[in-house]
Amino acid sequence: MVNSLSDQEVQELIKITEGCLKEKRGHWYTLGIPIETHYSLNEQLDAVRKLSLSGNRVALNYLSRLNLNEQVDNGCNTSWDGYGDTCYDTVYPNAEGELKDVLESRMVGGYTSPAKYQNHPRQEETREILHESLSKLEASLRS
């Protein structure tokens, strides 16, 4: 079911997806020092799901850009002696906040051990939600 959202509502959801500042306040135990709270990964993914139901072209353009990823040489290789295959990180240049941290694959390694991927436990789920949301929105706009 497609809920046609206005451009303003879509912009609000994009703001959430980007992990922008949610609130800024100082509690008594911070002695008045403001604490910034950003949107969480769950809030960002909920916003992505809502964008997929929006029936809005602005949302389609945004989700298309968000799904782009690049392979970047990270200087590591698969062998400790430096003669193994070059390793690449998968980066999502248009993602922001916690969503970006979860989506990206980072290769880590030292001089004494081969490089290994250090991925977030929710990475596959998050990538799947992004891909499905884009596909759903594309299909709804085609029909």
Q: What is the DSSP string of 71-132?
A: EEEEEEESSTTS-S-EEEEEE-TT--HHHHHHH-BEEE--SSS--EEE--TTHHHHHHHHHH
Q: What is the predicted pLDDT for the residue at 65?
A: 96
Q: What is the predicted pLDDT for the residue at 45?
A: 96
**What residues contact 12, with CB distance under 8 A and at least 6 apart?**
none
User: What is the Cα Rg of the chain in Å?
Assistant: 19
Q: What is the predicted pLDDT for the residue at 6?
A: 87
**What residues contact 42, with CB distance under 8 A and at least 6 apart?**
none
Q: What is the predicted pLDDT for the residue at 86?
A: 76
User: In which residue ranges of the chain is pLDDT below 70?
Assistant: 1-3, 27-30, 77-82, 108-116
Distance (Å, rounded) from C-alpha 73 to C-alpha 87? Answer: 6
Q: What is the predicted pLDDT for the residue at 130?
A: 95
Phi and psi at residue 60, in whole multiples of 5°? Answer: -60, -45
Distance (Å, rounded) from C-alpha 130 to C-alpha 111? Answer: 35
Distance (Å, rounded) from C-alpha 17 to C-alpha 20? Answer: 8
3-state secondary structure of 53: coil
CB-count burial class (<10 Å; 0-12, 13-18, 19+) for 137? buried
